[in-house]
Amino acid sequence: MTIRTRFAPSPTGYLHVGGLRTALFNYLFARKNNGVFVLRIEDTDQSRFVEGAAEKLMESLRWAGLEYDEGPDRPGDFGPYVQSQRLELYQKHVQQLIDQDDAYLCFCTSEELEAMREKQIAAGQPPRYDGTWRDRSPNEVQDMLAAGKPYVVRMKMPLEGETSFEDLVRGTVSFQNDLIDDQVIQKSDGFPTYHLANVVDDHYMQISHVIRGEEWLPSVPKHLQLYRYFGWEAPQMAHLSLLLNKDRSKLSKRQGDVAVEDYRDKGYLPEALVNFVALLGWSPGSEEEFFDLKQLEDLFTLERVNKAGAVFDLDKLNWMNGNYIRKMAEEDLVAFLTPFLAEGGADISDEATTRNIIKAVYKGVEKGRDTPRAAAIFLQNEVEITEEAALAYLKDPQAPTVLAAFLEKAREVDTLDDAAFKDIMKSIQKEHGIKGPALWKPVRVAITGAESGPELPLVIEVFGRDKVISVVEKVVARYL
């Protein structure tokens, strides 16, 4: 049997990081088993359709490196891969269920359904459809059709017993049938609901494994019932835990970014985001935390997927992304961070200067948008010193001597490059007997405004002699 998995998002906006994890696990499972990874766009809910959303979803998957084998823009043998283009197939199967007496037309109005719901809640019962039209006579149905009354089609769920299945993550899962109402499988606009279209497509696209979020777990008995009615074999299923905030609440936009596009735009690398997301609910079986996509393909198994909720720790993502940034080749690093530097107002017209700024600050960058903050000293003409520790170095009794000597010697050279700077510092040390932090820290603070940060030679190379002298003079005048 060929392993075939699918990622089937609705084109309602952006790709949620939870959706990225679902897509990733489907991708990894297919690759690990020499299978096929399918992208299917589930757009049967036309009321939630967002123009251009499907294209953005595909773009985000490509950005993350998750190349699907079949999809809307990659034809295969089981297309089309957009549900709104498969309506005839769904309608055929809805009619089959009606003909088998496994589904029926329901003419309840929205007002009747709301009254039904309110009555049940008042009686302390869980709100659900009560089967009003389940066993109506053909004549009643024909009268409503003749009168042009709108209707939906509902499938008949068993009224007793239970539905059980083996989840590849959760083990045996059971549902009481009498607690599940007759699900709508075709809406009044003629479009199928998720449940019907999902089952039909998974069958005809020969999906062997359905790997999706646990929010779809309550839908499983309805889907299994449809497989029984059609006489089809159901795929194996695995339901992934929710992604959680640190307070264990469900990850939502109210508490931070949830769209893959947001992380991309803020300067997270796709390799870092994919690595981080892979570890949300899955364990490699070792203490190692850094994996490229190929390593994940080799290591991934559903057996190591945890059924407990996974906390989306932004601090860890930042740490991981910073590690990836620091490992980038210089050319890639400069290409990646330059747009963010420009975003912060830097003049990037001089490639050499831009490169030196990036080389000076990248070790303090966790994501692209940190670059202007890390490079703040290069974007201002005057140093603002606010850190108590930095100010303390300027209050050292030897600081005035060090800075006066530094200015004197800096004015004497034509070019203040790395070699000249080191010569000046050695000269001050020799002449005044000052060394260690008492020598270096006042100069660093006067030039950068902080006690630590970019390597001083790189800062000085970007600034040039005149700006270094100007900045230090202003610090001496203001703080000493």
Q: How far is CA 105 from the centre of its chain?
A: 41
Same domain, 306 and 405: no
Q: Extract the runs of DSSP E, i.e. beta strands, from 94-143.
A: 103-106
265 and 185 within one domain: no
> Is 203 inside any structural domain?
yes
> Has residue 363 been placed in a domain?
no
Residues of the domain holding 439: 383-480
Residue 210: predicted pLDDT: 98
431, with CB counted inside 10 A (0-12, 13-18, 19+), is exposed
422: annotated active-site residue: no
Pair 460, 436: CB distance under 8 Å: no
Q: Would 219 be classed as within a structural domain?
A: yes
Is the same domain home to 31 and 43? yes
Residues 393 and 471 in one domain: yes
253 and 229 in a single domain? The answer is no
pLDDT on residue 422: 93
Q: Which of 92, 253, 316, 426 is catalytic?
A: 253
Of 256, 277, 311, which one is at a domain's C-terminal end? 311
125 and 226 in a single domain? The answer is yes
Can you list the residues of the chain whose pLDDT is less than 70?
Answer: 253-256
Q: Are strands 243-244 and 310-311 parallel, antiparallel or unpaired?
A: parallel
Of 240, 258, 293, the last residue of a domain is 240
Distance CA 20, CA 231 (A): 33
Both tokens assigned to 283: 């364990």
Q: Are the CB atoms for 459 and 448 separated by under 8 Å?
A: yes
Map residue 412 onto helix, strand or coil. helix
For residues 159 and 225, is the Cβ–Cβ distance under 8 A? no
**What CATH number has the domain bearing residue 122?**
3.40.50.620
| Structure token digits, residue 236 | 């194996």
Within a domain: 461: yes
**pLDDT at residue 336, as a whole number:** 98
Check residue 257 and give its pLDDT.
74
Assigned domain for 251 exists: yes
Distance CA 140, CA 143 (A): 5
Give CA–CA dist 230/353, Å, rounded. Answer: 68
* Total domains present in the chain: 3
Mark whether 202 and 101 lie in a shared domain. yes
Cα–Cα distance for residue pair 357/280, rounded to 1 Å? 35
- Residue 353 included in any domain: no
Please indicate, yes or no, whether residues 412 and 401 belong to a single structural domain of this protein.
Answer: yes
Q: Does residue 279 lie within any of the structural domains?
A: yes
pLDDT at 347: 87
Q: Is 325 contained in some domain?
A: no
Same domain, 93 and 222: yes
For residues 226 and 92, state if they share a domain: yes
Same domain, 409 and 443: yes
Among 311, 335, 357, the domain boundary falls at 311
Statement to judge: residues 41 and 174 lie in one domain: no
- Provide the pLDDT for residue 256: 67
CATH number at residue 478: 1.10.10.350
Give the three-class secondary structure for 13. Answer: coil
